[in-house]
Amino acid sequence: MRPSTIRAFAFIVSATSLVAIAGAQYSLHAASPAAIRSSAVSGAILGAADGLYRVDQSGTARKLLAGTDVRKILRTGDGWYLLSGWGVLFSRDLATFEKRNAGIPVKVLKTWDGSSKGFTREIQEIKDLEIDPYDPLTMVACTKDAVYVTRDGALSWTSIPSPAIQPGLKAVAVTSKPDGLVFASHPIKGMFSRPLSGGAWREIGGDLGRSDPGTGPDEISDIVVEATDSGTNIWAANSFLPGLYRYDFQKRSFASVWKGSEDFAAYDSLMPRRDGLYFVTDGAVMRQARPGTEPASVSTERAAVLAAASLLSSQLNALWMEGSSGQPLVLSELWLVSFKSDKPYRAVADGRHGFYLQTGFMVNEESRAKYDAFMTERNLDMIVVDLKDDFGRLRFEPRDPLVRSTGRWVNPLDVEGFVTEMKAKGRYLVARIVVFKDKHLYESAGGAYAVWDGKENAPWKGYIDETRELPVPTPPGAPPSSAAPATTLVTERKYFDEYWVDPYSEKVWEYNVAIAREIIARGFDEVQFDYIRFPTDGVNLGDARFRWRDQGMDMESALMSYLDYARDHIAAPISLDIYGANGWYRSGVRTGQDVELLSRYVDVFCPMFYPSHFEQDFMAFEPAVLRPYRIYRIGTLRNSYISRKKTVIRPYVQAFFLNVRYDRLFYNPNYVSLQVNGIRDARNEGLTFWNNSGRYEDIPVLKTDRNGKLTARLSNRSVMD
């Protein structure tokens, strides 16, 4: 089958031509033509969040392709390959573009207009695309779930199962010399290789960086093959550590060629040239002249990236341009060098600090006054309260007809009175809405919206089987005995007190978004969706059925479809509560909470990096007392970089004791302050303290500047001084 051809326009490219696209001329100036020429970006090809551009000699960026983001630009002898939101595109002349995605899966997204549903199909997001330098017809790509190889220039792709059962593949590479090998990196399981001709994946060891010495290798951000006169080099870099590596073909492992001293750094977009190994990092283009030497910033290449970025109103993702050395400058992941936000509600959500309270504390006048005074004392400007709680009960009296007819409200908050009082004191109000855990909706309409139990043919509810040893009852009239009483094992089914509704249901979406719309209209500043995920607990998870699931949809597409619907209907910041593990690792395993994908729709992620909820040895190396600081600093940074800085990262801070080993040893007010310091030393975009009982005596007095940013480090017993 011939690949489909996209004819977005017809034009002739020259140094002075004007390119007409549907009658529109693109001439985006943010810097003078002289500045652009001096930065040597004339003729550059730019991949951006809104398409593909070429820079002409006058310093004007003219659009070549519209309607999709372009994240990577590769050139071969017969044309150009683009990694885009439409998958892999090929063009011989940058005038017409072919989709070359045969064999790569399609994700189905559902739309809902209030009366009918529709469907859109998009290529499963391709995380990486690389060409074999010895054979330009051989290429490798990966989605989060699988690796794909082509031997015919992307006309057809063959799937290779992922080396790990969890989703989250990040980078791939392929070489046919000296041995035919495919490489892949996984954020949890590490690096792997397999023969290009077929065979099993083999885990690659070596001196790969680790954030925690007790865990496996840290995520690899990029892998690239370099063909030289003296042989083949394969380079790799870390996503979250200052590490560069080269593959040893004899030992079949990676050896370190550079490790910095920092505990966090983002290295990506490796590009070997004759004068060294280039890569991008925060605000810079770097070059390592030779293995073992310290990388240094290269000002000319950085200036080229900044000049190119200044031409565009959207995010610059990728750059291809002729180099002065005769080798092109080819870079991607350029949000690291020059970031632009495209979210209109992000700024208002940035720099907010507060706590969560059950709504009853705000309904009761006495406790409301107490917590209001406490906010002033601890310098907090945000409060998160339930407007729909963990059992689906509304905590306000609704006016919207759909919400009134569907919901049930108990002990409601006087919304207008609360908003007026809090706004007078400068409080930022966040409405927590529990989405897919909802007992009321679960039980409504005969269970029509509930996750269904395929075995029991009834609404599904997770359970575990508990086995206990019980004494065997003595028969009536039996003579007394000195022998130990007989026992028997009894297995009892214990149900979780959770009631899950179907995340694929557009009726469930409509109801929750109607709640959000009303509460914003009545004065709240932000909606925060919690339990926007699939159920994770129960030995009977395999029995769960989702009757609203349409063909081709998966967990990620269900959450994406819901959030797309929500984003279209909510004119306010949207925040999302996520598991700490989903903020730490590039994986939506178990829950569907894929940060990379969901960052399209939301303004804030609220990861729950509670130290009590991780394995108790995780990040607990000496001095172990600093574990809360490490988890929150590095976790906040990782979450931000996984989302490509698109969202505010406002973590939930553990302000409660849990009876686990680490907390028994270390929990106290200093434990809480260490988490705050970690957030401050990371992105410093806000935080929310969590204690379900409302006990917040352990939280510190925050020190912030007029922009809402934490200033001086908190110092309890001089631990961080």
Domain extents for the chain?
5-331, 346-440+504-690
- The reported pTM is 0.91
Kindly report the average pLDDT of the chain as a whole number. Answer: 91
Those residues whose C-beta lies under 8 Å from the C-beta of residue 2, and which sit 6 or more positions away, are none
Structural contact between residues 687 and 693, judged by C-beta atoms closer than 8 angstroms: no
Average pLDDT over residues 286-299: 95
Whether residue 279 contacts residue 305, with contact meaning beta carbons closer than 8 Å, is answered with no
What's the pLDDT score for residue 234? 97
331 vs 13: CA distance, rounded Å = 23
Mean pLDDT is lowest, of 299-303, 343-347, 476-480, 596-600, for 476-480
Yes or no: domain 346-440+504-690 corresponds to CATH 2.60.40.1250: no
Whether 14 contacts 55, CB under 8 Å: no
pLDDT category, 323, cuts 50, 70, 90?
confident
Taking phi over 0 as left and psi of -120 to 50 as alpha, with beta for the rest, 678 belongs to alpha
- DSSP helix/strand/coil, 51: strand
Cβ 711 vs Cβ 703: under 8 Å: yes
**pLDDT recorded at residue 486:** 79
pLDDT tens across 486-515, in order? 778 888 899 999 999 999 999 999 999 999
Q: What is the pLDDT of residues 10-50, one digit of tens each?
A: 222 222 222 222 333 333 334 444 444 444 699 999 999 99
Architecture of the 5-331 domain:
7 Propeller (2.130)
Q: What is the mean predicted confidence (pLDDT) over 172-191? A: 95
Reported as a single tens digit per residue, the pLDDT across 209-227 is 999 999 989 999 999 999 9
Contact 664, 638 (CB under 8 A): no
Q: Percent of the chain scored above 70 by pLDDT? A: 93
